[in-house]
Structure 1
Amino acid sequence: MNITGERQLAVDRQAAWESLFDPAILQQCIPGCVSVEREDETRYRAVVVMAIGPVKARFSGTFAIADAQAPGRCRLVFEGSGGAAGLAKGGADVVLDPADGGTRLAYDAQAQVAGKLAQVGARLIEGVARKLAGEFFDRFETAVTAGQT
């Protein structure tokens, strides 16, 4: 599945870039997030609890920053396991461009699921994924602009 979108952030590009990799901001923005810990400069470990249709699980996984060209673009690569619920993995290309009064954040994400998650149905999974991406970026926009006041 592929999810694309963009947001206009009322902060400069450097502030948006730094916020994108701040564990406290990420934990606040990721729906269902229990924890985010930085393992090193480019790798994080996260725990998320969520329900997708009839499947509810606690997912443990990692995400890493690849091909970073600060403060303009990077690729995020993630993978997580929800035990019997299944696996999820994928990546997202993120681009930050200066725009009127702030920064335009654009993303193009790809994800794959396996196990019980895959049995739920592609339409439901895609709908939930779009909803979660929207919630993340709503929260991210609020978090980064709140830090600028």
Structure 2
Amino acid sequence: MDMFGTVRFKASREHLWLAFSDSAVMKQCLPGCERFEWTAGGQGVATAAIAIGPIAATFKGELRLFDVEPPVTCTIAGEANAGAGGFVTGLAKVRFDESSEGTELSYFAEARICQRLTRLGVRKVDAAAKEIATRFLDSLREIVESEQRRRPIGRHLKGRG
């Protein structure tokens, strides 16, 4: 399954990069997220409770950042397991480009699902993945644009909630 898109933010590229690097912000933006933590060396861990159709599962996963060029681009690789609920692996390339009104975040993501999730069918899983991505990006936009108005660039963002 592949997804791609571009989202415009009324915020500086540096501010958006800081938000993307902040564990608390990422936890708040990811639907169903119970834990999100960037650790040393571009590694991360996350736990999220997600329901797709009749399947509800808690996914525990690991993330890895590479090809990192702050504040321009990065690639995120991840895999998450929900036991009998199945597992997911994915890769997302993210780019932050300055624009006349702020920053454009462009992404290309590919994911592979296995076990129970495949029984739901490609269309249902694809729709759920796009919904999760949209909710994530909408939440990120709300936080980043709000923080951009309230705080100068040099201060690290704090997740709300």
Both proteins in one fold, TM over 0.5: yes
Aligned-pair distance for 1:40? 1.2
The answer for the alignment partner of 1:99 in structure 2 is 99
Give the whole-Å Cα distance in 1 for the aligned partners of 2:98 and 2:74. 15
The answer for the alignment partner of 1:50 in structure 2 is 50
Q: 1:122 aligned to 2:122? A: yes
Give the whole-Å Cα distance in 2 for the aligned partners of 1:21 and 1:119. 34
Runs of 4+ in structure 1 deviating by more than 3 angstroms, as ranges, are none
Q: CA RMSD in A?
A: 0.8
Letter in structure 2 aligned against 1:88: V
Letter in structure 1 aligned against 2:117: L
The answer for the alignment partner of 2:65 in structure 1 is 65
The answer for the alignment partner of 1:79 in structure 2 is 79
Letter in structure 1 aligned against 2:23: P
Give the whole-Å Cα distance in 1 for the aligned partners of 2:35 and 2:22. 12
* Structure 1 residue runs without a partner (length 5+): none
The percentage of aligned residue pairs carrying the same residue is 31
SS where residue 40 of structure 2 aligns? coil
SS where residue 35 of structure 1 aligns? strand
Deviation per residue, 1:16-62 (Å, 9 max, x gap): 11111100000000000001122214011000001111111010001
* Structure 2 residue runs without a partner (length 5+): 150-161
